[in-house]
Amino acid sequence: MMLRRASQDPSQLGAAAARRMLDVAVEEARAGLAEGGIPIGAALFDPAGALLGRGHNRRVQDDDPSVHAETAAFRAAGRQRTYRGATMVTTLAPCWYCSGLVRQFGISRLVVGEARTFSGGQKWLATEAGVEVAVLDDPTCASLMVDFIAARPDLWAEDIGADPAST
């Protein structure tokens, strides 16, 4: 497990707990792909490790550009008094929009399945926002994205706001 150091050592979460949490997000990513969408999943856990909410990217399915995996998990968690100590787990490094959500609501930890296909804002969260970030470099997460990007480069470019010609 590759760790990026922030204000505290993210290894306190533990590799087994991070893996268990990532498994929930991977299930969501697979569900999104099966629905014809983008295979990115996320889950939000409370400080004790209990699942608060889970979701997957539904931009295509809902024709709504704001339904990213992290926002879907956040919405599914419902209103919480605080998000301090919570862990957001996502199969892919979060985009700037989702990184902003983590920062805005003070989510303490971020577990990223892979950041090879998209680096997003996790470095900013770790270095500037004080979020504990663990990048697992998970082969399943990477494979889901590599295969999807090869099959649907147009949809991937749309999802990340890139020029389709550049992907």
Are the beta carbons of 69 and 56 closer than 8 angstroms? yes
Residue whose entry in the numeric block shows the structure tokens 């399915």: 61
CA 164, CA 36: separation in Å to the nearest integer? Answer: 19
105 half-sphere exposure, CB direction, 13 A CA radius: 24
CA 70, CA 55: separation in Å to the nearest integer? Answer: 7
Given 27, 28, 35, 70, which residue is catalytic?
A: 70
Q: Return phi, psi of residue 21, to 5°.
A: -65, -40
CA 113, CA 140: separation in Å to the nearest integer? Answer: 8
Q: Is 70 a residue of the active site?
A: yes
Are the beta carbons of 147 and 117 closer than 8 angstroms? no
Residue whose entry in the numeric block shows the structure tokens 């605080």: 82
Which residues carry out catalysis? 70
